[in-house]
Amino acid sequence: MHEFGHSFGGLADEYFYESEDNGFYPLDVEPWEPNITTKVDFKSKWEDMVDGKSEVGLYEGGGCMVKGVYRPVPTCRMRDNDHPVFCPVCERALSRVIEFYTR
Ligand SMILES: [Zn+2]
């Protein structure tokens, strides 16, 4: 399901390893993937889903980078293959792809 998230939803990895920050994302550019942000254009991402009631927020570490890239929740299927579900931000991104192809 994790790999499906990449191929179907264009989702980024939400994981990272302290010892392997790959510097993949330039921090002055907003990544195109819907589930990570450098906060350059957070409005275009899940800012509208941060309400203080759910755990959706900004958690540093994602896209295989320790610093400067943020993910929406502590744990999502895009972070951990043992996690049973996608986070709300990934769910919305997947739904948008489905709507794009069916409406
Ligand atoms: Zn996610």
What spacing in Å lies between the alpha carbon of 74 and ligand 1's midpoint?
A: 9
What is the whole-number distance in angstroms between the Cα of residue 14 and the centre of ligand 1? 7
Ligand 1 centroid, distance to 9 Cα (angstroms): 11
Query: Tell me: the pLDDT tens digits for 50-65?
Result: 999 999 999 999 999 9
CATH number of 2-102: 3.40.390.10
**Residues 14 and 36: beta-carbon distance below 8 Å:** yes
- Please give the Cα distance from 24 to 86 (Å, whole number): 23
Q: What is the pLDDT of residues 74-88, one digit of tens each?
A: 999 999 999 999 999
Q: What is the pLDDT of residues 1-24, one digit of tens each?
A: 999 999 999 999 999 988 877 789
Ligand 1 geometric centre to CA of 39 (Å): 16
Question: Domain limits of the chain?
Answer: 2-102
Of 55, 97, 96, the closest CA to residue 76 belongs to 55
Tell me if the pTM is above 0.85: yes
Cα of 102 vs centre of ligand 1, distance in Å, is 23
